[in-house]
Amino acid sequence: MTKIKVCMVGCGNIGADLCIALQKGNIPAEIVALVDQDVERARVLVRTFQLEAKVCTLAEAVEDCDFIVECASAAAVEPVLRAAIDHHRDCLIMSVGGLMGHMELYEEAKQRNIQVRIPSGALCGLDGIRAAMEAGLHSVTLTTRKPPKGLVGAPYLTDNNIDLNGLTEAKIIFEGNALEAVKAFPANVNVAGALSLVGIGPKETRVVVIADPNATENSHEVYAEGAFGRLKTMTSNLPSPRNAKSSYLASLSAAAELRAAAVAYTSHYAET
């Protein structure tokens, strides 16, 4: 079986979940290079999954791969996009919030026919938003509800001295547009980025973040109105089996995107 050669940037929770997905053997892809600012995390994946992959820098990794997966952090997005553009590689960007700060590189990649895949993440309903855009949308709102511990460390909380300890009932802690939301909660609302890129854009997409001490799951509700009518979707996410702070569906969406990229690439390869 022809396999797409993957360089993975970021060897944490989503990286490990992708290794598990690839271990099943039904995605025509193999990891050939691993990049992480903490080299030991990359080595752990090599040992755990018995990968025949080298642990190296992004510059070295990109030479040997067909496809780059970014599942690291907002800071990793710019170098990954630059490497994708310079070496003409398609890529998957998981840190969609980080992508919002580099829209010029995203546009440059598209102009050069490089596919930058954006996952649906822990959200459903993007198919309807995409279709509705054909006739135009008037408004799109994402309401994200999380237990307070899932929001710990967010810059918005620290910058505004917001202490969620002792919260006894659900509280709206943020309202703004998607661009503001991904800066305020870079690790929590990547889905706002995906929703706004498919829909009416980062400045027009409204985001509400609720800290709810009674919530046991991370949930995302999308409400949109447009020429088509109205839609409302609700996704209640169980945590990833290996990381309580991350939604399992986010990792599954990464695997689904990698599968789609690999199938498209290997079909093209078979034709030529």
Could you say whether residue 41 binds ligand NAD (CB under 6 A)? Answer: yes
Neighbours of 107 (CB within 10 A): 11
Torsion region of 239: left, alpha or beta (phi above 0 gives left; psi -120 to 50 gives alpha): beta
- Least CB distance from residue 239 to ligand NAD, whole Å? 11
Could you say whether residue 250 binds ligand NAD (CB under 6 A)? Answer: yes
Closer residue to ligand NAD (CB): 125 or 226: 125
User: Are the beta carbons of 210 and 143 closer than 8 angstroms?
Assistant: yes
Could you say whether residue 10 binds ligand NAD (CB under 6 A)? Answer: yes
SS3 category, 61 = helix
Could you say whether residue 96 binds ligand NAD (CB under 6 A)? Answer: yes
Is residue 220 part of the annotated active site? The answer reads: yes
Q: Helices marked H in 185-247 — which ranges?
A: 190-198
- Least CB distance from residue 266 to ligand NAD, whole Å? 24
Tokens 């990286």 map to which residue? 15
- Least CB distance from residue 120 to ligand NAD, whole Å? 8
Please identify which residue in 22, 33, 35, 261 interacts with ligand NAD, judged by CB under 6 A: 35
User: Are the beta carbons of 107 and 128 closer than 8 angstroms?
Assistant: no
CA 78 and chain centroid, separation: 14
Question: Site mask, ligand NAD, residues 120-139, x = CB under 6 A?
Answer: -xx-----------------
How many Å apart are CA 192 and CA 126, to the nearest integer?
11
Catalytic center residues: 220
Residues binding ligand NAD (CB under 6 A)? 9-15, 35-38, 41, 71-76, 94-96, 119, 121-122, 187, 190-191, 243, 246, 250
